[in-house]
Amino acid sequence: MMTYIVFILSVIFVVSFVGFSSKPSPIYGGLVLIVSGGVGCGIIVNFGGSFLGLMVFLIYLGGMLVVFGYTTAMATEQYPEVWVSNTTVMGVFLLGLLMEVMLVLYVLKSEEVGVVFKFSGVGDWAIYDTGDSGVFSEEIMGVAALYSYGAWVVIVTGWSLLVGVLVILEVTRGD
């Protein structure tokens, strides 16, 4: 199973995305977002990026999602929608699950899958080696490069975050 762990985690990722895009109440959407965030972190860790994976857990799940959960809890309604409460939501959820199951069976059975780009069955999803040079870890060098050669990206993203805060304050301020 460990050779196919990335494939399994990816399937769980897609299933939880189907879970919140079938639009239950935001509380339940946040619940499957936690699952998908954790699983996404697992995928990154399996590719050798332990730092980035833990960063996702800490900042995304532990910071943003907690704030999202609290604000949604403040704004929740009396009877929130679950996946089985509304026919439409359940229908969309089951449809998404069905498509995912069919895709998984297609990938498992056939030798070569060519949807938009070709990959050969499940074999391409298994990680045999992390692909780095063995001297240093690739993802830490990526983070280092972000702060040295990629200074412009840091400036742009920092500015975007600042302007994001200003925009949100303007939009919710009202008159």
Partner 1 sequence: MNPLIFTTILMTVLLGTMIVMMSSHWLMIWIGFEMNLLAIIPILMKKYNPRTMEASTKYFLTQATASMLLMMAIIINLMHSGQWTIMKVFNPTASIIMTSALAMKLGLTPFHFWVPEVTQGISLTSGLILLTWQKLAPMSILYQISPSINLNILLTMAVLSILVGGWGGLNQTQLRKIMAYSSIAHMGWMTAVLAYNPTLTMLNMLIYIMMTLTMFMLFIHSSSTTTLSLSHTWNKTPLTTTLILITLLSMGGLPPLSGFMPKWMIIQELTKNSSIILPTLMAIMALLNLYFYMRLTYSTSLTMFPSTNNMKMKWQFETKRITLLPPLIVMSSLLLPLTPMLSILD
Q: Residues in the site for partner 1, rule: CB under 8 A?
A: 116-117, 152-153, 156-157, 159-160, 163-164, 166-167, 169-171, 174-175
Alpha-carbon gap, residue 164 to 157, rounded angstroms: 10
For residues 44 and 57, which CB has a smaller minimum distance to partner 1 in the complex?
44
Supply angle C-alpha 28, 34, 37, rounded to 5.
140
* Nearest by Cα to 45 from 84, 80, 2, 78: 2
For residues 57 and 139, which CB has a smaller minimum distance to partner 1 in the complex?
139
In the complex, minimum distance from the CB of residue 131 to partner 1, in angstroms, rounded to a whole number: 14
In the complex, minimum distance from the CB of residue 37 to partner 1, in angstroms, rounded to a whole number: 19
Alpha-carbon gap, residue 25 to 22, rounded angstroms: 10
Give me the DSSP letters along 50-74.
Answer: HHHHHHIIIIIIIIIIHHHHHHHHH
Q: Which phi and psi angles does 137 have, rounded to 5°?
A: -80, 140
For residues 94 and 167, which CB has a smaller minimum distance to partner 1 in the complex?
167
For residues 116 and 135, which CB has a smaller minimum distance to partner 1 in the complex?
116
In the complex, minimum distance from the CB of residue 166 to partner 1, in angstroms, rounded to a whole number: 6
In the complex, minimum distance from the CB of residue 76 to partner 1, in angstroms, rounded to a whole number: 21
